[in-house]
A and B are shown apart, each in its own frame.
Chain A
Amino acid sequence: MLIKLSGGTIYDPAHGIDGKIMDIFVRDGRIVEKPRDGERIDQEYNLAGKVVMAGAIDMHTHIGGGKVNIARTMLPEDHRHDPAAHSDLCRAGCGHAVPSTLTAGYRYAEMGYTAGFEPAVLPMNARQAHLEMGDTPMIDKGGYAMLGSDDLFLRMLAAKQDQNAINDYVAWTIAASQGIGIKVVNAGGINAFKFNQRFLDLDEQNSYYGITPREVLKTLARAVHELGVPHPLHVHGNNLGVPGNVETTLNSMAGVEGYPMHLTHIQFHSYGTEGDRKFSSGAARIAEAINKQKNISADVGQILFGQTVTASGDQMSQFRNAGAGSPHKSVCMDIECDAGCGVVPFKYKDQNFVNALQWAIGLEIFLLVDDPWRIFLTTDHPNGAPFTSYPHLIKLLMDKTFRNDMFASLNLDAQKMSTLASIDREYSLYEIAIMTRAGAAKLVGLHDRGHLGVGAAADITVYTDIADREKMFEKPDYVFKDGQLIVKDGNIVRVVWGATHTVKPEFDRGIEKEIKQYFDKYLTIKMDHMKVSNDEIEGDGRGKVIVQECKGRREKTA
């Protein structure tokens, strides 16, 4: 089957194409060269005047796993407002803050997204994360395995084990959890909380292991780099939400000593202590640091106003914040000598000083970071806002008048504390395509996604170029997934299941001896039972494991 997408205006930043009118040819799910004259075109779409981009990629979205399902279970009152009925094509479910898996897949696709990555796969809960992602249709999936507060890693650090052994353990964890990267959440802090520590700053020691977050970050950033995993260490910083945490964040950037590091939902980690209320924007300093340090990337974790739920591995912070929950309830868990989690429903209010300033801080970061290849569009779904608010967020970035009108309606004290109104920058379509496609694919290590070059998977989204960018991005004309038309005029026309992207860095299997000993001695399951097999993801005939290329194991770098 040969498909021709004719005459669309193409935005393909991976190839430097910025709004050029071109034809795209698709065969068997891939983008192909222009066929020879006379070759039969099976189907042609006239895209004159339309905007064509690769399918969008959400590089940080909580779509599957224990804490997400706790959030679902906790919030029947939220689901009731947004039922999703059974149709000839689509299964029933519910939406809003934390949608059912099937509804999440449909709604991502309906907005032109073709991939989403679960950023907090606890290795001990990886099977559940993959089960849920397996029930998420339409989009490709993948997950970052969480390390850094697990007792085995901290024992290895405390025993001053060789970096090579750490690297082997990190690679083993990626393989066992079927991950595509490594995430660290409140480095060492979730573990310290189990010893009744309530904060853990970058150079504070875990009271049992004597290890500091700085050591955790540096060791893991180095491990990920030396293993050749394309996605840099994915870091949820220490002191989330704490006024003054901008210092911790800046020190963390410096602390990895040049190794690549991705700082996630950095908005929540960019707070100063100035002003009457001792809460201020650290956005300018954060943006300046990102602009200078080319090894650092970040996604914003923008908050938007309304009801949502915060679901995080950062149990230490979530327990601290539980009192601010709305509705007032929370779930915290210590988990399997592996990690923790905390779920707190939250309602962000535009007349609340802190919330309004959080909103402004996120946008300031977006607008002050120069390089769109290193800053990414997220709301940390659902923590800052549900992913369905992305079109609104894109409009805030692309339309200064709209943004300033919104800003002028916020809490007045917050307005006084923000420079947002003085920032003139408006994102271009090309920059949006970088943030949500080319840059995201490059960051995650999806070599054949996020671009429209020959050989790429034909994940393609087609929009009508209208001035109201929110309307434009919430309802694409067409979405193709692996060459199949799945969405037309914002509605699902075909259900597909997507694949699971992983990496499989090389490691010395000898490490399993130590890991097995640890499991047998201390844990309550067998090591082999933790591993998620390909068969579990592919067994029902609709999932598929894709192994993305690693750069190969590097020699020791330090």
Chain B
Amino acid sequence: MDNFAQAGTVESVTCPFCGLLCDDLTVQRDSAGNLKVMENGCARAVTFFERAVAAPSPRIQGKPAALQEAIAKAAEILGKARQPLLAGLGTEVFGMRAVMNLAESSRAALDHMNSNGFMRNIHVLQNSGWFTTTLSEVRNRVDLLVVVGTDISSVNPRFFEREIWNTETMFDQNTSQREIVYLGGRDLDTSAGVSPDGRQPDVFACDLDRIPEVVAALRALIIGKKLHAPEIAGIATADLEQLAQRLLAAKYAVVAWAAGPLAFPHAELTVQNITELVIAINKTTRAAGLPLGGSDGDTSANQVSAWISGYPMRNSYLRNYPDFDPYIYAADRQLQSGEADALFWVSTFNPERTPPAADVPTVVFGDAHMEFEKEPDVYIPVGTPGIDHKGIMFRSDNVVALPLQQLRSSNLPTLGEVLHAIEQALQTAVQ
């Protein structure tokens, strides 16, 4: 058992800050519980782990309050609400289970802070399905990586280090020969795609909002259509033809995207073109899609919601049973239309993800370092999973769930404890 009161070094720490969930970090703790990343941290991991220990008091209307009072006030707001909205949902599996319980007890709607991006993938999964792979397969098999609309590194900083330029693979591949292609986007930082021996990646740049055309053209070429246009969004058709041939000739091509950065209308159709071109390649050789990006528990929120209710995000218990509607239950829409009459915002990993401006009573269960432009009615600081308490989290590839460790002792309650107490208070009030 760790003695959290003492300074110490913890190895094999899992970092929950992005969807890669690197689990090889070494973190040092001082006797006050401050953490320092000693090995294998990226800049985002350092920011995440090295925030100074803080345990502010809960606040009601900006005034310090005891935890019990804050819980009672939150329960009161929830009890009065006719259409409460539980949003943000930046938490891990156990926190999300508590969210689902509370949503059911209070007939609330549910939405995650990353849904605008994530729903692009969900739409595709529900409309046509897809063919994807996971990180260890990429690490051992990929010979051609095509990255659509992102540099990956800004969303998953260690991706190239861990899955592309790893020195050994199971199948005796010389990884420095791996081919990297960036397709779409402007001014991407493609330096991580340079091979260890200095070979530059291929970069076919275009404006973000022209990506749909480029990906559609690539899919057309892969299924054998001829294109008469000499260029698509500034990319020579001949280059795309050549890329299609490389994809069809590769032994294990991986086409990666991050749903978040594809921020243009109906980007789900572009995700679908990516996944359908992958399926087309698989008619003759092997290839797979790879959804990247994410976190703040987005994959975990969707997974837990799916097994407990049957549905992923943008879900509601308003009808007393789970109801899924990606349009109706979008948090922004519910707030803007005035349908939601109380907002309960969860962000336990990231103090910068504060709630959207809303004219309804607002309760925040947040990281201890949160600062607000507009003070919420109730603020309850909660522990950070993977630092202050244990947890379980899903990777962006949707398969591997890893344990998050506790790294120090903390006076902050867990999200689960707070939500459970609110649910109890709600039930007592009903009786």
Interface positions of A (Cβ within 8 A of B): 64, 66, 68-70, 72-76, 79-80, 83-86, 91-94, 98-103, 122, 124-125, 127-128, 131-132, 135, 151, 155, 193-196, 208, 319, 322, 328-338, 343, 521-526, 528-529, 536, 540
Contacts and interface: CB of A to CB of B under 8 A. Distances in A.
Contacts of A102: 308
B23 A79 contact: no
A70 B306 CA distance: 8
B322 A333 contact: no
A101 B308 contact: yes
Contacts of A79: 310-311, 322, 324
A538 to B, nearest CB: 14
B403 interface: yes
Closest 4 CB pairs of A and B: A94-B310, A83-B321, A329-B129, A100-B310
Nearest to B105: A86
A382 B110 CA distance: 28
Contacts of B168: 521-522
Contact of A334 (B126, B134, B311): B134
Interface of B: 12, 14, 21, 23-24, 93-94, 97, 101, 104, 122, 125-137, 139-141, 162-163, 168-171, 251-252, 282, 285-286, 288, 302-303, 306-312, 317, 319-324, 392, 394, 398-403
A94 B319 CA distance: 13
A319 to B, nearest CB: 7
B115 to A, nearest CB: 14
A144 to B, nearest CB: 18
Nearest to A522: B170
Contacts of A337: 136-137, 140, 170
A75 B306 CA distance: 10
B311 A76 contact: yes
A322 B128 CA distance: 11
A329 B131 CA distance: 11
Contacts of A151: 140, 170
12 contacts: A69-B306, A83-B323, A93-B310, A98-B310, A100-B307, A155-B170, A196-B285, A319-B282, A522-B140, A522-B168, A528-B12, A536-B392
Interface centre among B23, B137, B311, B400 (most CB of A within 10 A): B400
A99 B401 contact: no
Contacts of A74: 125-126, 129
Contact of A329 (B128, B132, B323): B128
B321 A336 contact: no
A398 to B, nearest CB: 33
Contacts, number: 189
A343 B129 contact: yes
A336 B398 CA distance: 11
B274 to A, nearest CB: 14
Contacts of A69: 303, 306-307
A331 B311 CA distance: 16
Given A73-B312, A155-B170, A196-B286, A335 B399 contact: yes
B310 A72 contact: yes
Given A79-B310, A102-B308, A529-B403, A70 B286 contact: no
Nearest to A523: B136
B170 A73 contact: no
Contact of B12 (A98, A335, A526): A526
Contacts of A525: 21, 23, 136, 400, 402
A323 to B, nearest CB: 11
B309 A73 contact: no
Contacts of B137: 194, 334-337
B134 A336 contact: yes
B227 to A, nearest CB: 26
B127 to A, nearest CB: 7
Interface centre among A64, A75, A194 (most CB of B within 10 A): A194
Contacts of A91: 101, 104, 308
Nearest to A100: B310
A333 B321 contact: no
Contacts of B163: 524
A544 B70 CA distance: 34
A127 B392 contact: yes
Contact of A331 (B129, B392, B401): B129
Given A125-B400, A524-B139, A101 B129 contact: no
A529 to B, nearest CB: 5
A79 B24 CA distance: 40
A345 to B, nearest CB: 9
Interface centre among A93, A125, A132, A328 (most CB of B within 10 A): A93
Given A75-B126, A331-B129, A524-B136, 16 more contacts: A73-B306, A79-B310, A83-B319, A86-B320, A93-B308, A94-B322, A100-B307, A100-B308, A103-B310, A124-B136, A125-B401, A127-B403, A194-B252, A334-B141, A338-B136, A523-B136
A28 to B, nearest CB: 30
A395 B230 CA distance: 66
A76 B324 contact: yes
A239 to B, nearest CB: 19
Nearest to A330: B129
A386 B389 CA distance: 39
A530 B319 CA distance: 39
A451 to B, nearest CB: 32
A556 B405 CA distance: 41
Nearest to B103: A92
B426 to A, nearest CB: 13
Contact of B133 (A196, A330, A334): A334
Contacts of A322: 129
Contacts of A333: 131-134, 288, 399
A73 B126 contact: yes
Nearest to A72: B306
A529 B122 CA distance: 28
A540 B306 CA distance: 20
Contacts of A70: 125, 398
A135 B97 contact: yes
Contact of B309 (A64, A93, A124, A335): A93
A98 B311 CA distance: 11
A102 B308 CA distance: 7
A329 B21 CA distance: 29
Contacts of A80: 324
A89 B354 CA distance: 36
A11 B181 CA distance: 67
A387 B322 CA distance: 21
Nearest to B97: A135
A403 B38 CA distance: 69
B309 A100 contact: yes
A83 B317 CA distance: 11
Contact of A83 (B23, B131, B133, B322): B322
Nearest to B163: A524
Contacts of A76: 126, 310-311, 324
A529 B129 contact: no
Contacts of A66: 398-399
Contacts of B104: 86, 91-92
A86 B312 CA distance: 18
A330 B308 CA distance: 22
Contact of B401 (A84, A103, A127, A196): A127
A196 B302 CA distance: 31
Nearest to A519: B136
A332 B129 CA distance: 8
Contact of A73 (B125, B286, B392): B125
Contacts of B133: 333-335
A99 B306 CA distance: 10
A135 B399 contact: no
A523 B252 CA distance: 17
Contacts of A131: 93, 307, 392, 401
Nearest to B133: A334
Given A125-B400, A522-B170, A92 B320 contact: yes
B242 to A, nearest CB: 22
A199 to B, nearest CB: 15
Contacts of A524: 135-136, 139, 162-163, 400
